[in-house]
Amino acid sequence: MKTLAIVGGGASGMLAGITALETNPDIQVIIFDQKDILGKKILSTGNGRCNLTNKNMSSDYFRSDEPQLISSVLKAFGYSDTIRFFENLGLLMKSRNGYIYPRCDQASVVRSVLDNRLKELGADIRRENAVTSICRTKKGFQIETGSEKIQADRIILSAGGKASSKLGSDGSGYTLVKSLGHSVVPVVPALVQLKVKDFAFQKASGVRTDAKVTALINGRMAASDTGELQITNYGISGIPVF
């Protein structure tokens, strides 16, 4: 039996595991994750509601030096494919201004349907088991954690970026990918909230409302967007801020 090891059990790793087992039930899929549950970061997406996809999915909405690469990815698995995938898992969804959310507005349900499907398919899930090294061997790859060594025919590295160490994205995946001879483009923060000095609306922390947010540079508009604005105790967050 061939073994596929997936390093990182976030949204990408969970979808990869489901797809692999549904495509070829005769393989063994092992998912390694350093947190106590798979898909932990899913719980914080979309302000706790999990924005699954968008009806207006187009390469025009992405910034990249290789727009043709974005187009090929969206063509391979786009909006309709995403909807079909989650419908097959039994997830009920709704649209709000083109944004697709679970009907119950709870990200935890999205995490649960993915986790349940992996268990149904027989995935070997190894939680709280961080991968410390990956080495090429004649037979594939040797994966080492703090407690064991595993031989795998193929690996999928889905360890995430460096967005939130407490949710599992601590940048450790970059070290693993470099050890295999790949290059890594320097990372910078993206999709971040704005901290405001001497913020006058701290008492309104927790309030959410539809609003238009405009960024001015030297008095000239640099960017503007409309959506759900979230007021926090340090500044502003939400879709139009990102």
1-49+106-188 sits in which CATH class?
A: alpha beta
Average pLDDT over residues 212-219: 94
The predicted structure's pLDDT at residue 191: 81
Q: What is the pLDDT of residue 188?
A: 84
| Confidence (pLDDT) at 29 | 99
pLDDT of the residue at 189: 82
| Segment 202-212 mean pLDDT | 93
Residue 135 CA to residue 132 CA, distance in Å, equals: 10
Report yes or no: 70 and 40 within 8 Å, Cβ to Cβ: no
- The two three-digit tokens of residue 101, written as one number: 């959310």
Looking at the predicted structure, is the pLDDT value of residue 62 above 90?
Answer: no
Mean pLDDT of the chain: 93
Contact between 239 and 211 (Cβ < 8 Å): no
Dist CA 165 CA 168 (whole Å): 5
pLDDT of 82-101, one tens digit each?
Answer: 999 999 999 999 999 899 99
Min mean pLDDT across 130-139, 155-164, 185-194, 222-231 is at 185-194
Q: State residue 59's pLDDT score.
A: 85
pLDDT of res. 192: 87
Measured over all CA atoms, what is the biggest interatomic distance in the chain, rounded to whole angstroms?
64
Asked if residues 49 and 59 have their Cβ atoms less than 8 Å apart, the reply is no
- Amino acid identity, residue 95? S
Does residue 169 register a pLDDT over 90? Answer: no
- In the chain, residues under CATH classification 3.50.50.60 are 1-49+106-188
Amino acid at site 128:
E
Q: Which pTM does this prediction carry?
A: 0.84
